[in-house]
Amino acid sequence: MSLFKAHYNLEKHSVGFVVAIILAASVGGLVEIAPLFTIDETVETLPDMRVYTPLELAGRNIYIREGCYACHSQMIRTLRDEVERYGPYSLAAESQYDHPMLWGSKRTGPDIARLGGKYSDDWHVAHLTNPRAVVPTSIMPAYPWLATTSLAVNDLGAHLATLRTLGVPYTDAMIANAPRDALAQARPDSEAAADVVERYGEATTLRRFSGADELTEMDAVVAYLQVLGQLTQAPYTTETTP
């Protein structure tokens, strides 16, 4: 009862009670904030890490819009069972250009941090159109409208410019050509396709992701899913396997 009595007496002195609250909150804040001052020393940099292309970024925005992150995490922990099931554990630097990050802690569906390249574009199109067509036991909702909804590209330059203010190294050329590059990435036979590779690197994938002639939201989402875990090859080195 002495503890309750001490708390009761403290409540009778409002100034002291406020000071106690401030001190308690300060300790918690210090524990969370202090490590940020040394983040440059604790988070590694990856020399081959590249940014999302405008098409991939558009796909990420749609992925967030549709709430896919609520069921699929993008963070493989260092536990052996996770590594054996999903692949090399996630590195902090892999999320340095993610705003917001999509690590997650709930998995109604599998983690997709290493999804890129695991399945074909046709598989993803079929899966998004009707999940039960490729995974009979799936409880994932269908997204057939992605294949019939034209992708809005005119505002992609503004998206890139906003991300640059947050530290993503998009250049002036990337921002100015964002709508054109989004179209060109899904049209590998176009004259502008070579410019996409020049701006975003040789690892950039150029192909018709949905197989349709018109650029749709399906192209963007599949392009995003196919690049997950492929922005850098660092996780696939022996050092990242426990």
pLDDT (tens digit per residue) in 119-163: 999 999 999 999 999 999 999 999 999 999 999 999 999 999 999
- Residue 138: Cβ-neighbour burial (10 angstroms; 0-12, 13-18, 19+): middle
pLDDT band at 39 (very low <50, low <70, confident <90, very high): low
Backbone angles phi, psi at 150, to 5 degrees: -65, 140
Q: What's the chain's average pLDDT?
A: 90
CATH architecture entry for 54-240:
Orthogonal Bundle (1.10)
Name the residue ranges covered by the structural domains of the chain.
2-42, 54-240
Query: Tokens for 10?
Result: 């403290």
Q: State the pTM of this model.
A: 0.83
Cα–Cα nearest to 221, from 136, 129, 141, 134: 129
pLDDT band at 204 (very low <50, low <70, confident <90, very high): very high
